[in-house]
Structure 1
Amino acid sequence: MTLLDRTEAAPANPARLILILSLAPTVGLGIGRFAYSLLLPDMRDSLSWTYSAAGFMNTINAAGYLAGALITSKLVQRYGLSAIVRVGTLACVLSLALCAASGNFVLLSAARLIAGIGAALAFVAGGALATIIAQAQPARSAFLLSLFYAGPGIGILSSGLIAPFLLQAAGPGSWWIGWLVLAALAAAMTLPLLLAPLDSHATMSSETPASFRVRPVLIYLAGYFMFGAGYIAYMTFMIAYVRDAGGGAAAQSAFWCLIGCSAFVTPWVWRRVMALHRGGLSTTIILSVNAIGAALPLFGLSTAMLAISALVFGVSFFAVVASTTAFVRFNYSQAEWPGAIAAMTISFGIGQTLGPLVVGAITDAIGSLSSALAVSAATLAIGALLSAFQQPLRRA
Structure 2
Amino acid sequence: MHAPELHQTYAHPARLILILSLAPTVGLGIGRFAYALVLPDMRDTLTWSYSAAGFMNTVNAAGYLAGALLASHMIRTFGLAASVRWGTLACVLSLALCAMSGNFYVLSFARLLAGVGAAAGFVGGGALAATIAQSRPERANFLLSLFYAGPGIGILASGLVAPFVLQGFGPGSWWIVWWAMTALAVIMTIPVLLAPLHADTTATETAAAKFAITPVLIYLTGYFLFGAGYIAYMTFMIAYVRDAGGGAAAQSAFWSLIGLSAFVTPWVWRRVLALDRGGLATTIILGVNAIGAAMPIFGQSVWLLAPSALVFGVAFFAVVGSTTAFVRFNYPPQAWPTAIAAMTISFGIGQTLGPIVVGAITDAMGSLSFALNVSAAMLALGAVLSAFQRKVGQKPS
CA contact (8 A) 2:296 2:308 kept: yes
Structure 2 runs not aligned, ≥5 long: none
Name 1:271's counterpart in structure 2: 270
What is the rounded CA distance, in whole Å, between the counterparts of 1:91 and 1:112 in structure 2?
11
Name 2:107's counterpart in structure 1: 108
What is the rounded CA distance, in whole Å, between the counterparts of 1:60 and 1:321 in structure 2?
21
Name 1:143's counterpart in structure 2: 142
What is the rounded CA distance, in whole Å, between the counterparts of 1:231 and 1:332 in structure 2?
27
- Cα distance, 1:288–1:184 mapped onto 2, change above 3 Å: same
- Cα distance, 1:284–1:200 mapped onto 2, change above 3 Å: closer
What is the rounded CA distance, in whole Å, between the counterparts of 2:75 and 2:333 in structure 1?
20
What is the rounded CA distance, in whole Å, between the counterparts of 1:288 and 1:109 in structure 2?
33
- Cα distance, 1:36–1:166 mapped onto 2, change above 3 Å: same
Q: Which amino acid aligns with 1:17?
A: L
Name 2:31's counterpart in structure 1: 32
- Cα distance, 1:150–1:227 mapped onto 2, change above 3 Å: same
CA contact (8 A) 1:7 1:202 kept: no
Alpha-carbon displacement from aligned partner over 1:95-145 (angstroms, at most 9, x marks no partner) = 001001111110000000000111111122223333344444444443333
Name 2:207's counterpart in structure 1: 207
CA contact (8 A) 2:84 2:121 kept: yes
- Cα distance, 1:141–1:80 mapped onto 2, change above 3 Å: same
CA contact (8 A) 1:44 1:50 kept: yes
CA contact (8 A) 2:148 2:321 kept: no
CA contact (8 A) 1:331 1:395 kept: no
- Aligned residue-pair number: 393
- Cα distance, 1:325–1:189 mapped onto 2, change above 3 Å: closer
Name 1:286's counterpart in structure 2: 285
Q: Are 1:358 and 2:377 an aligned pair? A: no
- Cα distance, 1:136–1:186 mapped onto 2, change above 3 Å: same
- Cα distance, 1:359–1:261 mapped onto 2, change above 3 Å: same
Q: How high is the TM-score relative to the length of structure 1? A: 0.91
Q: Which amino acid aligns with 2:299?
A: G
Name 1:379's counterpart in structure 2: 378
Alpha-carbon displacement from aligned partner over 1:239-266 (angstroms, at most 9, x marks no partner) = 1100011011111111111111111212
What is the rounded CA distance, in whole Å, between the counterparts of 2:76 and 2:181 in structure 1?
32
Name 2:51's counterpart in structure 1: 52
More deviation, 350-359/290-299: 290-299
- Cα distance, 1:390–1:14 mapped onto 2, change above 3 Å: closer
- Cα distance, 1:272–1:182 mapped onto 2, change above 3 Å: same
Alpha-carbon displacement from aligned partner over 1:126-177 (angstroms, at most 9, x marks no partner) = 2333334444444444333333222111011100000011101111111000
Question: Secondary structure, in 3 states, of the residue corresponding to 1:246?
Answer: coil
Name 1:311's counterpart in structure 2: 310
Q: How high is the TM-score relative to the length of structure 2? A: 0.91
Structural mapping, 1:189-268, within 5 Å: 189-204=188-203, 205-214=205-214, 216-268=215-267
- Cα distance, 1:357–1:146 mapped onto 2, change above 3 Å: same
What is the rounded CA distance, in whole Å, between the counterparts of 1:331 and 1:76 in structure 2?
21
- Cα distance, 1:9–1:219 mapped onto 2, change above 3 Å: closer
Q: Which amino acid aligns with 2:365?
A: I
Q: Are 1:368 and 2:367 an aligned pair? A: yes
Deviation at 1:333, TM superposition (A): 5.4
What is the rounded CA distance, in whole Å, between the counterparts of 2:330 and 2:15 in structure 1?
32
Name 2:60's counterpart in structure 1: 61
CA contact (8 A) 1:22 1:151 kept: yes
What is the rounded CA distance, in whole Å, between the counterparts of 1:337 and 1:190 in structure 2?
25
Deviation at 1:348, TM superposition (A): 1.1
Name the % identity.
73
Name 2:388's counterpart in structure 1: 389
CA contact (8 A) 2:148 2:320 kept: no
More deviation, 162-171/66-75: 66-75
Structural mapping, 1:44-193, within 5 Å: 44-193=43-192
CA contact (8 A) 2:71 2:341 kept: no
Deviation at 1:193, TM superposition (A): 2.2
Deviation at 1:339, TM superposition (A): 5.0
More deviation, 18-27/305-314: 18-27
Alpha-carbon displacement from aligned partner over 1:320-375 (angstroms, at most 9, x marks no partner) = 12222333344455566555434322211100110000000000011111111111
- Cα distance, 1:71–1:276 mapped onto 2, change above 3 Å: closer
What is the rounded CA distance, in whole Å, between the counterparts of 1:16 and 1:275 in structure 2?
21
